[in-house]
Structure 1
Amino acid sequence: MAGIVNYVKESFGELKNNVTWTPWSEAQSLTILVAVFSIVFSLAIWGVDSVFSKVVSFYFTLING
């Protein structure tokens, strides 16, 4: 159990003293950028999925007559 406690203490010390954190304003702008690109890509995937769905539906309608 002492090993786990020591590991957690050392991890917090590492995060506090040795990690260079991104400035808050940059983190906010990058978060907005990721959110916008996620929305754009999800809309693009939805569009491609809709087109393929209509193509497959049309194909099976042709086959079944």
Structure 2
Amino acid sequence: MSKIKSYMAETVEEMKQKVSWPSYSELQSSSILVLIGSLIFALVVGAMDIVFDSTLSWFYNQF
């Protein structure tokens, strides 16, 4: 049980002292960047889906 307490105490200490937490403005700019990247990725995947769907529909209608 003392090993668990020691582990937890060391974890809390490391999170408080050694971890470099971003400032609010850094966090905000990173979040906006991730949001924009996710939207671009979703648009690309959506466009690919539309192209494949219409291509396959055209191909299957040929037979």
Aligned partner of 2:46 in structure 1 is 46
Q: Structure 1: any 5+ residue segments left out of the alignment? A: none
Deviation at 1:57, TM superposition (A): 1.0
Aligned partner of 1:9 in structure 2 is 9
Deviations 1:32-57 (CA, angstroms, capped at 9, x unpaired): 11011101110110111111111011
Residue identity in the other structure for 2:2: A
Q: Structure 2: any 5+ residue segments left out of the alignment? A: none
Deviations 1:15-44 (CA, angstroms, capped at 9, x unpaired): 101112111111111111101110111011
In the TM superposition, 1:16-35 aligns within 5 A as 16-35=16-35
TM-score by length of structure 2 reads 0.87
TM-score by length of structure 1 reads 0.85
Q: Helix, strand or coil for the counterpart of 1:22?
A: coil
Q: CA RMSD in A?
A: 1.1
Residue identity in the other structure for 2:22: T
4+ long deviations beyond 4 Å: none
Q: Helix, strand or coil for the counterpart of 1:16?
A: helix
Q: What is the identity percentage for the equivalent residue pairs of Structure 1 and Structure 2?
A: 35
Deviation at 1:2, TM superposition (A): 2.6
